[in-house]
Structure 1
Amino acid sequence: MHAQKAAIFDIDGVLVKGFIICEFPKYLDQQGCIGSESNKKIQLLLSEYIKGTKSAAEVATELPQVFARGLKGCDHQKVEKLGAAFMAIYKKNIFEHSKQLVKLMKQKGYLVLAMSGSPIEVIKQLKYLGFDDLYGTECEIVDGVYSGNVKTNLVIRENKETLFYALIKKYNIDIESSFGFGDTSQDLPVLEHVGHPVTVNPDKKLSEIAEQRKWPIVKNKTDIRGLLDF
């Protein structure tokens, strides 16, 4: 198989506004499919992260664990359907300029992939935008029911890096001709290795890194027009 050029996207903050991994549990709680205590704990973790009382690494480890425990005993197919119903509502939060970015990369012949720390049940619903494959955090399923354990935690930076290298091998990706799109330092495992790193709606820390390294910053449609002139 010949080497492929790829465009690898983060989702939360890059393609959509907000944190799906925090919004989806709210919806599941409303539908009676996750314990309200688990939902409250997830929202508390997010609050502590925003306030700076918990580090990104701590939240990255704890949040998926709380989510997985909350889903224990739930039917997998039911949660899959709720993932689709949730995205039907939440898609209004997709950034228009990011939708155009995905479409443009696809038109230019790039393999378009997504790597997200948010639940795969929701992330897979974004395939219609033009993604070839999408990867998200997965909870373990045994005999069609959630076990309460985490199978794959893509919130953790090191796990995202491991997946990145696995995808390079799986798809025979030429990283020098590939693009990476991210909004936080958690996306550095991709941004630092591709030939064309792009920051989209970057937070303060990534903005500083982007300015130092002269990486493009995308915040609107105008930024896209000047970015991909190739």
Structure 2
Amino acid sequence: MNLALFDLDHTLLPIDSDYEWGQFLCRIGAVDAQAFAARNQAFFAQYQAGTLDPVEYLEFSLGTLAGFPRAKLDEMHAQFMREVIAPAIRPSARALLQKHLGQGDLVAIVTATNHFVTAPIAAALGIEHLIAAMPEVAADGSITGKLVGTPTQGAGKVVHTKAWLEKLGKRLEDFETVHFYSDSHNDIPLMSVVTHPVATNPNAALTSHAAEKGWPTINIFND
């Protein structure tokens, strides 16, 4: 068995699910549109620039989730999946995933976006294993607004991936090949410890780094 890891936003999806979730909340009137959109845009710009404080951002996004009963959150997310995510899922992304699943590879999505937003997306893509920022969940299923553990961003993806594999009784070194597909220079720490890093729809910083390292580059959204 080999291992195939995938970033989510701008890698398997041509959009940023976290950012789009915020825009969706504004659009349906669930939050103060002007104030929320301004903060959401500022955080997104910081992420693109590689200057985002992941804890600060997650406290902001999870704090927003804490403002709603769980039933309402799930209702809103189902609408989000129908209106935003489902139309964004491309056949090319499904084909890339199926290539690895069909080979019998162990496949996981490793994303900095929180688990509440991404779990239904992973399920829609047919991926069982998801490594994502974990919100604290109360006994009644509501989200408290707190982050459990460390963020799954940058070097945190390496830490969380190794911890996930350890729970399965495995290590990165146990696999003959380990692919990691990502669009962002923020993921260079994990890309640097796998056997087959693949710059996928890469941003300018990752394009340059991949060229220096001789990493392959693909774009699955050219259709």
Q: Which of 134, 153, 158 matches 1:156?
A: 153
Shift in Å, 1:191: 1.3
Deviates more, 1:211-220 or 1:101-110: 211-220
Partner of 1:28: 25
Equivalent pairs: percent with the same residue?
22
Distance 1:35 1:196, change over 3 A: same
Find the aligned partners of 2:103 and 2:152 in 1 and give their Cα distance. Answer: 29
Give the SS at the match of 1:136.
strand
CA separation of 1:128/1:9 partners in 2, compared to 1, >3 Å: closer, same or farther? same
Distance, in Å, in 2 between the alignment partners of 1:177 and 1:49 is 29
Distance, in Å, in 2 between the alignment partners of 1:77 and 1:191 is 37
Give ranges in structure 1 of 5+ residues lacking alignment.
223-230
Counterpart CA distance in 1 for 2:62 and 2:27 is 17
Match of 1:225 in 2: none
TM-score (norm 1): 0.81
Corresponding residue pairs, total: 215
Displacement of 1:106: 0.3
SS in 2 for 1:114: strand
Corresponding residue number in structure 1 for 2:115: 120
Q: CA deviation at 1:9?
A: 0.4
Deviation at 1:221, TM superposition (A): 8.1
Does structure 2 retain, via aligned residues, the 8 Å contact 1:127–1:134? Answer: no
Residue 15 of structure 1 aligns to a residue in which SS?
coil
Partner residue in 2 for 1:56: 50
Matches within 5 A, 1:47-196: 47=45, 56-90=50-84, 91-125=86-120, 126-142=122-138, 143-151=140-148, 154=151, 156-171=153-168, 172-173=170-171, 174-196=174-196
Shift of 1:153: 5.6
Q: Distance in 1 between matches of 2:110 and 2:46?
A: 24
Write the deviation string for residues 10-50 of structure 1: whole angstroms up to 9, x where unpaired: 00010111211111022123344445433431123224555
CA RMSD of aligned residues (A): 2.4
1:6 and 1:112 in contact (8 A); partners too: yes
Q: Which amino acid aligns with 2:185?
A: S
Instruction: Say whether the 8 Å CA contact 2:155–2:190 is kept in structure 1.
Output: no
| Aligned mates of 2:143, 2:41 — CA distance in 1 | 21
Asked if the contact 1:10/1:114 (under 8 Å) is kept, the reply is yes
Structure 2 counterpart of 1:124, one-letter code: A
**Which amino acid letter does the alignment assign opposite residue 140 of structure 1?**
E
Closer/same/farther in 2, CA of residues 32 and 153 from structure 1, 3 Å limit = farther
Q: SS of the counterpart of 2:193?
A: coil
Structure 1 residues 153 and 74: alpha-carbon distance in aligned structure 2, compared to 1, 3 A threshold: farther
**1:133–1:13 Cα change, 3 Å:** same
Secondary structure of residue in 2 paired with 1:58: coil
The CA deviation at 1:149 is 2.1
Aligned equivalents of 2:194 and 2:18: distance in 1? 26
Query: Which deviations, in whole Å up to 9, do the C-alpha atoms of 1:68-108 show, x marking residues without a partner?
Result: 22223311232133223212222222343222100111001
SS at match of 1:109: coil
Please tell me whether the aligned partners of residues 136 and 148 of structure 2 are also in contact (alpha carbons under 8 angstroms): yes
4+ aligned runs moved over 6 Å, structure 1: none
Who is 2:220 aligned against?
220
Compare 179-188 and 36-45 and name the one that shifted more.
36-45
